[in-house]
Amino acid sequence: MSFPWAKQYAPKHPVMQWIDEKLPLPRFVYNAIGSGYPVPRNLNYFWNFGVLSGVALVCQIVTGVILAMHFHSSAAGAFESVNGTIMRDVNAGWFLRFAHANGASMFFIVVYTHIARGLYYGSYKAPREMVWLLGVVIFLLLMATAFMGYVLPWGQMSFWGAQVITGFFSAIPVVGDWIRIWLLGGYAPDDAALNRFFSLHYLLPFVIAAVVILHIWALHIPGSSNPTGVEVKDEQDTVPFHPYYTAKDGLGLVVFLIVFALLIFFAPDMLGHPDNYIPANPLSTPAHIVPEWYFLPFYAILKSFTFDLILPAKLWGVLAMFGSILLMFFLPWLDKSPVRSGSYRPMYRIFFWIMIVDVFVLGYVGGAEPIARNVILGQIASMYYFAHFLIIVPIVSRLERPKPLPNSITEAVLAKGKSGETAVSA
């Protein structure tokens, strides 16, 4: 969308004029991320994480395409090509491998922050439901892609991760075993599975990129949300994306890259699992098998079903795990509150933070041994997770008395500036 006061593209250079007449691509870019896109003036640093997710995607595609030039997708050669050829022999191969592996972690860090931002500030509410739905699709694709990428080095965690995750599908009644054998192309993970995972791990990032374009497109129809949740009213409320937010995103990007570099150069294995430096052994499962850190909360939900209740425990676990993500699709309709931002919703804000703590508890349980104490903790945390979205959010949105909203974004900004000044003078 373009607000009426959005600047219009006026090419000065004859070459740009010539291009713009034939294919208005420069105009399109100008209106999408240039001076032609007016953005609320009060965005805080949590609004950096969309751009950072995009940068993480580009990093993964670039390092991934290069790594694929040196990778052997066969059960006999994969481990050696990653841990031998790429890490020792390929020029700067160690850097590319660590950048790609830690890049996945960075991707999930920024995406989880991006999602939490949306949950707090009600960015999923009308008229931005489509932005949210496409975001959930991207998240599902991202998890599938990351899973298949982790299989490729064909270490112990790769192999047993593939065994367990394709095992989810065998929980489906009647056709489950057939689906699992179809996914693997055999009875256990082997060459056939590794090869198709390589092919799909290459394909899916481009599907993600396509959905990202739809995500941005859908966002630009209503325009960006903002920390007050109050819609833009006039020109005073906005500034052009370029140079104001390109600069602010640039600063966020520098911080992102510093953290990324610290991981790559000083702690490249901190977020990985040491067992993946052992070649896959189909005859022995590591005593303590855990997924990558970014899957732990969902893994905890899977593990929490230890008893049969009409359906077998295994099927419950798988349904709950997929359900915990799929229920996100319904969030815009579960939260009926007309107030978007959590800043003006005193009750919602409390439950929001409890839910964030709950996700960290689930993450802890996902990585911990399945002893009785942890199983019970996981069951309580899983129940709370579902209760938050299915019970608490709908009830709170009806009962809550929100704080008074500012009349406009500008009023909120000026009020904040004023209180800051008095604080300094006092």
Could you list the active site residues?
220, 224, 248-249, 292
Long-range contacts of 266-270 (CB under 8 A, 24+ apart): 268/98, 268/101, 268/102
Give the list of residues 6+ apart from residue 134 with CB closer than 8 angstroms, or none: 211, 214, 215, 218
Say if CB 366 and CB 309 are below 8 A apart: no
7 or 314, CB closer to another protein? 314
Of 300, 332, 327, 305, nearest in space to 316 by CA:
305
Question: Cis peptide before 268, with omega less than 30 degrees from 0?
Answer: no
* Minimum distance from residue 166 beta carbon to another protein (Å): 8
* Minimum distance from residue 370 beta carbon to another protein (Å): 5
* Minimum distance from residue 105 beta carbon to another protein (Å): 23
Give the list of residues 6+ apart from residue 292 with CB closer than 8 angstroms, or none: 104, 105, 146, 150, 271, 272, 273
Say if CB 363 and CB 300 are below 8 A apart: yes
* Minimum distance from residue 131 beta carbon to another protein (Å): 32
User: How many other CB atoms sit within 10 Å of the CB of residue 243?
Assistant: 12
13 or 373, CB closer to another protein? 373
Say if CB 211 and CB 137 are below 8 A apart: yes
243 or 282, CB closer to another protein? 282
185 or 268, CB closer to another protein? 185
103 or 317, CB closer to another protein? 317
In the chain, the N- to C-terminal Cα span, in Å, equals 43
User: How many other CB atoms sit within 10 Å of the CB of residue 424?
Assistant: 7
62 or 278, CB closer to another protein? 278
* Minimum distance from residue 211 beta carbon to another protein (Å): 22
Of 192, 147, 154, nearest in space to 77 by CA:
154
Question: What distance lies between CA 120 and its chain's CA centroid?
Answer: 16
* Residue recorded with tokens 């870019």: 29
Q: Where are the beta strands (DSSP E) in 81-171?
A: none
d(CA 176, CA 310) in angstroms, rounded, equals 18
* Minimum distance from residue 151 beta carbon to another protein (Å): 14
Which residues bind to another protein, rule: CB under 8 A?
A: 160, 163-164, 166-168, 170, 181-183, 185-188, 190, 192, 196, 282-285, 287-289, 303, 305-306, 308, 312-314, 317, 370
d(CA 49, CA 46) in angstroms, rounded, equals 6
- Taking CA 386 as the corner, what is the angle to CA 136 and CA 148, rounded to the nearest 5 degrees? 40
47 or 168, CB closer to another protein? 168
* Minimum distance from residue 138 beta carbon to another protein (Å): 25
Give the list of residues 6+ apart from residue 31 with CB closer than 8 angstroms, or none: 2, 6, 9, 37
Question: What distance lies between CA 62 and its chain's CA centroid?
Answer: 19
24 or 167, CB closer to another protein? 167
* Minimum distance from residue 288 beta carbon to another protein (Å): 7
Say if CB 236 and CB 406 are below 8 A apart: no
